[in-house]
Amino acid sequence: MAISFDVSAEVAGLARRTAEFVRDVVIPEERSCGGSVHDAPEPLRLRLQRAARDAGLFAPHAARRWGGLGLDLRGQAVVFEEAGYSLLGPLALNCAAPDEGNMHLLEAVATGAQQERYLRPLAAGETRSCFAMTEPAPGAGSDPRALATTATRIPGGWRIDGRKWFISGADGAAFTICMARTSGAPGDAGGATMFLVDAGTPGLKLVRNLETLDEGLFGGHSELAFEGCEVADDQVLGEVDQGFGYAQVRLGPARLTHCMRWLGAARRARDIALDRAAHRAAFGRPLAELGMVQQMLADSEIDIEAGRALLWRACWELDQGRPGAQHTSIAKTFVSEAVNRVVDRAVQVCGALGVSADLPLSRLLREVRPFRIYDGPSETHRWAIARRAVRASQERAAT
């Protein structure tokens, strides 16, 4: 099994141009808003995306038929990392969550008519979207089988009832991909269906925008209520009762693209720490000559390189059409924890300056911390990783 780490000339060129674009265009915009874009104006998004389109960098993940660059996951890993060097970089390239994951899902599952109605404007940056699965307790969270929102058959369509929260990007989204139970009961392994719900549909209400540790995602995180929300049959995404399977189509790659973007943020924190260590003197010599600082710098290099290697392996598995659940979980768990360590060490190296607003480190620290929770908390992934490993061992012993 040959796994190549070579990067094509096309992808290398895109990555280089993305790095330059982020440095020259995006970071100045980030500084002007402090990296907090919960309440950022829509003109900021449109301005950044217009600049990315003019630079030939827009939608690197989307298929060319939808106006994107058509990169596979390995190509995305290289380019998304460069975009993630700024909190606004993924937004500028239209490869930020949740839209990027929703584009992948729509391309894989939606009908031709649904793709024209929802995917084409989304890929073009004309609209935004959200994915509504997470619910208040005791509903769906790290265990999606607890799904409690229901969709009931009515003439010509469905009536959705339930409550969702921590729905990223919901404020201002043109449509919602809503997971609702069409059969069975909470706790059952099947019975979920996905629905495309347009903003403004009667019965869909944005209850509130949640105050969270992170503020770098455009549109924030919201609580939604579905109260007698009626949709037509042609707004079912995929087949009825197959929603959990479609969720894995979305969530596997989405976990990896999160890793790609946050590795870029970790590199930025690492670069800030290296610069500070090289130029700040203490106890008669540069910080970079002090053993404990050297250890932190070295450990950050190890975390970044190891995280990237795990990520690329998982991307390769999915690009080959292999079942990548184990490698995806391993990469997500390691990278989510590694980027936290890298950013935390950078804050420590920079001392008081690191916790101030004079550097982006305190903002990065708040942004990366939730990554150990969303798209599956580390504990859930470790449970799944161990379960698969034990099952594989049992199967080997039985042969």
Domains of the chain: 9-96 (1.10.540.10), 129-241 (2.40.110.10), 248-398 (1.20.140.10)
Residue 297 near residue 271 (C-beta atoms within 8 A): no
Buried b (16+ CB within 10 A) or exposed e, 54-82: ebebbbbbbbeebebbebebbbbbbbbbb
Q: Can you give the pLDDT at residue 3?
A: 67
Nearest to 97 by CA among 219, 227, 210, 208: 219
The list of the chain residues with pLDDT below 70 reads: 1-3, 35-36, 38-40
Cα atoms in the Cβ-side hemisphere of radius 13 Å centred on 116: 3
Residue 336 near residue 371 (C-beta atoms within 8 A): yes
Tokens of 316: 């390769």
Residue 155 backbone class (left: φ over 0; alpha: ψ -120 to 50; beta: rest): beta
Beta strands 221-232; 157-168: pairing state: antiparallel
Q: Can you give the pLDDT at residue 41?
A: 81
Q: Can you give the pLDDT at residue 5?
A: 75
Long-range contacts of residues 275-281, Cβ cutoff 8 Å, at least 24 apart: 276/349, 276/350, 276/353, 277/349
Q: Can you give the pLDDT at residue 64?
A: 97
| Residue recorded with tokens 């910080």 | 287
Whether omega before 98 lies within 30 degrees of 0, making that bond cis, reads yes
pLDDT tens digits, residue range 205-214? 999 999 999 9
Q: List, in order, residues 6 or more apart from 118 with CB less than 8 Å away.
A: 106, 110, 129, 175, 196
The residues with which 329 forms a beta bridge, in sequence order, are: none
3-state secondary structure (DSSP) of residue 275: helix
Q: Can you give the pLDDT at residue 92?
A: 97
Alpha carbon dihedral 8, 9, 12, 16, in 10-degree steps, equals -170
CA distance 35 to 136: 28
Q: Can you give the pLDDT at residue 335?
A: 98
Model confidence, pTM? 0.95
Q: List, in order, residues 6 or more apart from 355 with CB less than 8 Å away.
A: 347, 361, 362
Buried b (16+ CB within 10 A) or exposed e, 178-197: bbbbbeeebeeeebbbbbbb
Residue 180: phi and psi, rounded to 5, are: -140, 155
Residue 144 near residue 199 (C-beta atoms within 8 A): no
Residue 317 near residue 324 (C-beta atoms within 8 A): yes
